[in-house]
Structure 1
Amino acid sequence: MTAPTTTEAARTVADPTAYADEKRLHAALTQLRSTAPVSRVEAPGYNPFWAVTKHADIMAVERANDLFTNSPRPVLMTAREEEMQAAVAIKTLIHMDDPEHKKMRAVAMDWFRPKTLKAMKQRIDELAKVHVDRLRDAGGECDFVQVVSTTFPLFVIMSLLGIPESDLPRMLQLTQELVGAQDPELQRTTGIDEQMNALLDMFAYFTDITAQRRANPTDDMASTIANATVDGQPLDDIATVSYYALIATAGHDTTSSTIAGGMRALIDHPDERRRLTDDLGLMPAATEEMIRWVTPVKAFMRTATEDTVLGGTPISAGDSLLLSYVSGNRDEDVFSDPFRFDVSRGNNKHVAFGYGVHFCLGAALARMEISSFFSELLPRLKSVELAGEPELIATTFVGGLKHLPIRYTLD
């Protein structure tokens, strides 16, 4: 097979199907890191942008948050999708820049501080045991994604928000439709209008939650958001439901993808699984390696506010840049043997959570969930193997495995 041209390789980052084909994706990204680390991309249906594939360049952009802003294009979408989203007036933390971003981030910050997360650990450990028991009760063969990894983190985030467990099927449907909007199996329909309706349905759900918490505040994150004020003024309805939508989707799908991808990595690398099982003290390092390996958030976008140079490439004011986290986390200049899964990898400078002022608000919670689940699973897992072909979500934003058929023995 001949290597793709630089233009073809650059267009790969805008192709959802490429993220469901890791061999193809990484071949293109490896080529870009080597020959054109800041590449101009002109893909059909998209407004032009620069693909940034080197770790150092990604970090340079993340550090210069005044020079490279989230607004107006924080996520890669088609030109038509960008128009429709603007019409709906969505504005979450990922759409904001300072000082607005800093003020809005503070609304839920206390829920992700160490003291609060420490209080949550017992509940997370309980949910981890429930889901390992669910795996045991499945009878030795199941789709790990459907049985475990989609529901465990969703139960955790619903506990934080104070949403009743009876609403889990509805929340699962809404989050999967949003994150899977580019995947033929998960999307509501192939029409853009119907995909936007999935977002509007989530907004309607959280509008009801907002009204309930304003009328009868409770001790949960939903009440904190519903009754928050910024600069002495209450959040308007769009800002409130946008906040919920971000917490629900980001708090669920990224962790779900990492747990599923981590499980596959442990199956594909049995020696590493044995190392971790024999020494659970490696779990912090293994957790970081799973996050790097999966990189559930594939990319974010930034826009240059003035003319500048990045990696030797001139960038004009108004140009958009795609920060390819999945490429940065395989950068040969930063990671020794980057395509090796190593549960003891030290000094793991992955960019899966971003960096700087936009560093993931829920990073510590995600780490706790991943660690809790595998700390419960591995001592009880006697054997495990694939029972079919794993399948990845087609996406350009957030995603991972949508099917992981496994066969196993479990205490």
Structure 2
Amino acid sequence: MAAIKTADSRPIPDDIARQIVLPEGHSDENLLFAAYRWLRENNPLGQVRVEGYDPLWLVSKHADIMEIERQPEIFTSGGGVQPGSHNPILQNQAGDEFTKSLTGGSLRILDALPYLDPPEHTAVKDIANDWFRPASLKKWEDIIRGLAREAIGKRLREGENEIDFVNDFALFYPLHVIMSLFGVPEEDEPRMMALTQDFFGTSDPDAQRADVEALSPEAAAQQWSAAIRDFYAYFDVFVEERRKEPRDDLATIIACAKKEDGEFYPKEFAYGWFVAISTAGHDTTSSTLSSALEQLAIHPEQLKRVQQDPSLIPHLVNEVLRWASPVKQFTRQAARDYTLNGSEIKKGDRLMLLYQSANRDVDVFEDPDSFQLDRRPNKHIAFGYGPHMCIGQHVAKLELRIIFEELLPRIKSVELAGERKVVQTNFVGGLKNLPIRLELW
């Protein structure tokens, strides 16, 4: 591997590049965030070559990511069959080749929003965009509150709880909410849980499937495609059922969407929606919820403040989203030459947008390495920015606000009770476990 020096910047050391690009580099957050900080301070927009990966620009600053994200016509997301097309979800070269072997040469393994560019992206997003608007979500607030109370009553008890907060609570509440709104039967939730962990655990040895060739260069892509295949098998029945017997749920809106010519969208677009909602709509929220409890355990004075003043809860939500940033990166590809922050980006270059780094940018956030539940302003980009900004952001914020409104008043004390670990992934992930002692009123 060789780092490429940009003007007026220090060359990016190999160990910094590997820490950020390789999934295993993300298993040590102290080293990872130190690497992000090195980039921001020494080479905020530099190109690296890590063995086994395409050359990448590492984009570490908030302003640069926003400039890229607001111009999808210049910095494209979509994978395709055309020569030079890229994968918006970073895989190594072996993984991309494996994907193309399954699709006949395409890197677009899912007909889902992260793989699409306008105008196709706009049309597909419009299928369910209205459902995800805050005004539309109001009718679900009482249902979500009931699910939050149910989760607390079912999984926690009055008095002392010695639990792994991730695996005993945080994974289940967001899954149950999104599946209930979506229309997936509760008895099928364990299957969705397993597939979600397969989907986002592609690079974590603890989450590897038995049907994946361990330690092979293409293992992550094998698991990714296997999980997608299993999702498709489940959701194919789902689509057929909703088209025959529509219901008042999100699944029906998606399954019954039609193109301008009046024909149903191909099933693959419904699958893409369903997979995205089942995975990103669950895993990111559970990671954020777990990070919140960890920080409130570390900072009991902040827990006391938000308990005394519940109006701070929306600010707590925003701060933990900034802090956790569970979506670590997406990649973009330059459709033409472009000068970005003094660096010459060439047509065809790939850029790795480092959202976690941007959300610790001192140019945007005062004292960014401290957790401040009342941080204002808080211009985090945990949901991305521009046309690709997460369509589910308002659902996630609503889920988090409600669970904090229900859980925080009942907490007498919370403290860490053991070693925590994070998922080994350079894409979407957070805490793998969080042992705590939680005493409830």
Cα separation, 1, equivalents of 2:119 and 2:375: 36
Cα separation, 2, equivalents of 1:10 and 1:332: 21
User: Following TM superposition, by how much is the alpha carbon of 1:151 offset from its aligned partner in structure 2, in angstroms?
Assistant: 0.9
User: Following TM superposition, by how much is the alpha carbon of 1:401 offset from its aligned partner in structure 2, in angstroms?
Assistant: 0.7
Q: Do the aligned partners of residues 229 and 250 (structure 1) sit closer, same or farther apart at CA in structure 2, a change above 3 Å counting?
A: same
User: Following TM superposition, by how much is the alpha carbon of 1:103 offset from its aligned partner in structure 2, in angstroms?
Assistant: 0.3
**Which structure dedicates a bigger proportion of its chain to helix?**
1
**Cα contact 2:95–2:222 (8 A) shared by 1:** no
Cα separation, 2, equivalents of 1:223 and 1:37: 44
Q: Deviations over 1:154-188 (max 9, x none)?
A: 11111121111111100000011101111111221
The aligned counterpart of 2:14 is: 7
The aligned counterpart of 2:141 is: 121
User: Following TM superposition, by how much is the alpha carbon of 1:242 offset from its aligned partner in structure 2, in angstroms?
Assistant: 1.3
**Cα contact 1:67–1:306 (8 A) shared by 2:** yes
Q: Do the aligned partners of residues 141 and 4 (structure 1) sit closer, same or farther apart at CA in structure 2, a change above 3 Å counting?
A: farther
**Cα contact 1:283–1:375 (8 A) shared by 2:** yes
User: Following TM superposition, by how much is the alpha carbon of 1:8 offset from its aligned partner in structure 2, in angstroms?
Assistant: 2.4
The aligned counterpart of 2:64 is: 57
**Cα contact 1:134–1:148 (8 A) shared by 2:** no
Cα separation, 1, equivalents of 2:11 and 2:335: 32
Q: Do the aligned partners of residues 215 and 83 (structure 1) sit closer, same or farther apart at CA in structure 2, a change above 3 Å counting?
A: farther
The aligned counterpart of 1:202 is: 231
Cα separation, 1, equivalents of 2:193 and 2:386: 30
TM-score (norm 1): 0.96
User: Following TM superposition, by how much is the alpha carbon of 1:228 offset from its aligned partner in structure 2, in angstroms?
Assistant: 0.6
**Cα contact 1:145–1:260 (8 A) shared by 2:** yes
Aligned length: 409
The aligned counterpart of 1:338 is: 368
Deviates more, 1:86-95 or 1:288-297: 86-95
**Cα contact 2:199–2:223 (8 A) shared by 1:** no
Matches within 5 A, 1:139-288: 140-188=161-209, 189=212, 190=214, 191=219, 192-232=221-261, 233-288=263-318
Cα separation, 2, equivalents of 1:311 and 1:5: 17
Cα separation, 1, equivalents of 2:12 and 2:69: 28
Pair 1:32 & 2:39 matched:
yes
Pair 1:136 & 2:150 matched:
no
Q: Deviations over 1:101-137 (max 9, x none)?
A: 0000011112212232101111111111122223433
Matches within 5 A, 1:241-390: 241-390=271-420
What secondary structure sits across from 1:185 in the alignment?
helix
TM-score (norm 2): 0.90
The aligned counterpart of 1:99 is: 119
User: Following TM superposition, by how much is the alpha carbon of 1:300 offset from its aligned partner in structure 2, in angstroms?
Assistant: 0.9
Q: Unaligned stretches of 5+ in structure 2?
A: 1-9, 80-86, 104-108
**Cα contact 1:143–1:406 (8 A) shared by 2:** yes
Q: Deviations over 1:3-25 (max 9, x none)?
A: 99633212322121222211100
Amino acid corresponding to residue 152 of structure 1 in structure 2: Y
**Cα contact 2:12–2:48 (8 A) shared by 1:** no
Deviates more, 1:321-330 or 1:199-208: 199-208
Amino acid corresponding to residue 375 of structure 1 in structure 2: E
The aligned counterpart of 2:48 is: 41
Q: Do the aligned partners of residues 268 and 34 (structure 1) sit closer, same or farther apart at CA in structure 2, a change above 3 Å counting?
A: same
**Cα contact 2:40–2:61 (8 A) shared by 1:** yes
Q: Deviations over 1:189-242 (max 9, x none)?
A: 433434421221111111111111112111111111111112223111222211
Deviates more, 1:49-58 or 1:235-244: 235-244
What secondary structure sits across from 1:301 in the alignment?
strand
Q: Unaligned stretches of 5+ in structure 1?
A: none
Cα separation, 2, equivalents of 1:377 and 1:170: 27
User: Following TM superposition, by how much is the alpha carbon of 1:374 offset from its aligned partner in structure 2, in angstroms?
Assistant: 1.1
Cα separation, 2, equivalents of 1:346 and 1:242: 36
What secondary structure sits across from 2:332 in the alignment?
strand
**Cα contact 1:10–1:32 (8 A) shared by 2:** no
Identical amino acids, percent of aligned pairs: 42
What secondary structure sits across from 1:300 in the alignment?
strand
The aligned counterpart of 2:110 is: 90
Pair 1:406 & 2:436 matched:
yes
What is the RMSD of the two structures over their aligned residues, measured on CA atoms?
1.6
What secondary structure sits across from 2:205 in the alignment?
coil
What secondary structure sits across from 1:107 in the alignment?
coil
What secondary structure sits across from 1:292 in the alignment?
helix
